[in-house]
A and B are shown apart, each in its own frame.
Chain A
Amino acid sequence: MTPMIDVVFLLIVFFLVSSHLAKQESRLPLPLPDAESGLPSAERQTARVTVNVLSDGRIYLAGKLLPVDQLQPRLQYEFAEQDRRLQVRIRGDRHVPYHFIEPVLVACARTRIWNVQVAVIQRRQARP
């Protein structure tokens, strides 16, 4: 029995880890900006697209590198695909200059996606 149990446990652990990693796909490790008024992220029925903006301005959408000029067509496609109910979450590096974030906001507005969130980490104490 013992080898079989070993193998079964290995399989269980493998599937648990891989499913966990699949969930993490859109969560690139980024130094997010910190804020005091952040709200806990609620898992809603609305479909969500996560746009990651790295410190050098590279944009990753759904875990894949995307040139900035292809962002709007891609959002339009996703928006139509999700029956015009789409939420966009912007995960931007806190050091990235604003001119790399601006095209993302403009692409959302042009696509008519008004439901946009900015991912932050909770600040522990007030800063002067």
Chain B
Amino acid sequence: MKRVTSMYRDRAGVDLAMTPMIDVVFLLLVFFLWTASFQIVEYVLPTELSWPDRQETSAQTPDPSWDFEPVVIQLLWRNGQPVYVVNETEVGSLTEIGQILAAIARIKPDNPVIIDPDPAVPFGRVIDVYDRSRLAGFEQVQFAASEDV
């Protein structure tokens, strides 16, 4: 009979305490929820800066690419709306710019594209044009900057 009671006692000892396990599981759940979601994946647009005295673009060796004029896209800001000017010709929309750029890129994808935005243009609009130039297939897209900044 003694044996039986001890056996019952052992069985009672095996009972799991659930509360700490739930504590831990909740902690882990909260941690993974916090870290995994709500994070937007960031992408990058590579740019290659240039400066008048940068060695690679120095005037030591004549660059054959200068046979073709660089495409200058001016980005103006009028009444809260962007106005696009490609090589001194006003262009209606971003789609049109995309078409023009794609046409030029088919002939000469290594032709430099220079984006010259007005100081008031929001950065997002500048990146729109930059994105279009990259999508058209241009390898060299640069931002214009004034010396006196």
Contact = CB atoms under 8 A, between A and B. Distances in A.
**Do A and B interact?**
yes
Nearest to B47: A116
Interface string B38-76: 001111111111110010000000000000000000010
Contact of A97 (B41, B44, B121, B128): B121
Contact of B131 (A37, A91, A108): A37
B102 to A, nearest CB: 13
Interface in B121-148: 121-124, 126-128, 130-131, 134-135, 143, 145-146
Interface residues of B, number: 45
A94 B123 contact: yes
Interface of B: 17, 20, 23-24, 27-28, 31, 34-35, 40-51, 54, 75, 93-95, 117-124, 126-128, 130-131, 134-135, 143, 145-146, 149
Interface of A: 2-3, 5-6, 9-10, 13, 16-17, 20, 27, 32-41, 53, 89, 91-103, 105-106, 108-110, 112-122, 127-128
Given A6-B24, A13-B28, 5 more contacts: A2-B20, A33-B128, A38-B43, A96-B122, A109-B145
